[in-house]
Amino acid sequence: MNDDVVIVAGSRTPITGRSRAQAELRADQLGATVVRELVSAFGVSPSVVILGNCTGPGGNIGRLAALGAGCGEAVVGWGVDAQCGSGLLAIQQGLEHVQRTGSAVIAGGAESPSTAPQRIDVTTGRTITQARFVPEGFPDPDMTEAADELARIRTISRTRQDHFAARSHRLARAAQSSVQTVQTASISVDDGPRDLTPQTLARFAPLFGENSDHTVTPGNTARIADGAAAVLMLPARDAAKLTTPTPCRVLASQLTGASTDVPGIAAVSAVRAVLATAGRNLDDVAAIEIVEAYAAQALACLDELGLTGPQHSAAVDPRVNAHGGALALGHPWGASGAVAVVQLLDRLADTPPGTLGLAACAIGGGMGAALLLERMDPRESGQPRDPGEPGALP
């Protein structure tokens, strides 16, 4: 079997704030929406639906979404929980399933904090606001406190964070007219992007106190949001039979482990690993998507990868999140990695064949995930390529 796997297309719902426009839709209903859209657009029934989710009410979200989308009872499914890397990990599992079975897969993520149940620790009677990411004996920081500490350790100033957040909003607003989302409820556009400036963001008070050691604010933190995103994946030989504007070959994917006490930096190891697997470097990549849970966390990763300006200035490489990111759109935890992949597909649509794109995210508990894609010629056949040809799988 040809090992090349092609992402035919992606789909996502609007990203909306918790308790706002999509507040009445469960995670599986949001997931069913994007699955249905992909099936309808290409007439391909998947053999399996794999969806990431980390705060839902339990149950098999992949199977629920497959049935809810009308895929039929023969289509199986399952859910993946890897915190905010769930959607990207689901796509990685989908890639492996296509390689193993040669069948079509829809994979992504869905999250509905609006409908997530309240959990209680029966030993204390207290509400559980964050699941444990690691067992006893390992550092398990609150994600916001960890971002604040990361900013302090890496000397990422409040000014840089606010400039980065403003950049995300500016780029997301500029891209809104061209970004296609599937209408749910009564909304068809993201409700997060705002006309914000660094000066406006400077008015927000730090979340953990007023002294200069605390720089993370509501303005440079991604808001909690509802949303779903997924992609359709096929063996290259089958994808070649479809009319699709944005076929992308998966060159490599990686899931890496890193320190649990500074989880926000873990995307770096995943990026380096995925590039090494494909025999590429960052200079070869034209489009980069990294999940912006916090400005401090994203900037720490970009600094480490050499994607910021001299002396880690406010400047950011223009290849990074050119349509904005989670700081503007919002952070539907289990879906955010898949949202990044769909954003990447949108950006690669107007690029020539051979263009590379990279999606990555840091994961609570000290993991990182990354995916490297290559834009294909829509007319390209599904025949295996010579291993020495540029873009061939290593």
Which positions are catalytic?
84, 331
Does an H or E element contain 78, and which?
A: strand 76-80
Distances in Å between the Cα of 310 and the Cα atoms of 102, 234, 255, 289, 342 are 47, 42, 30, 21, 30
Backbone angles phi, psi at 24, to 5 degrees: -95, 0
- Using left for φ > 0, alpha for ψ between -120 and 50, and beta otherwise, residue 180 falls in beta
**Which DSSP letter does residue 326 get?**
H
Q: Is residue 161 within 8 Å of 296, Cβ to Cβ?
A: yes
Let me know: does 162 contact 201? Beta carbons within 8 Å: yes
CA distances from residue 196 to 166, 171, 205 in whole angstroms, order as listed: 6, 11, 16
Please give the Cα distance from 24 to 210 (Å, whole number): 37
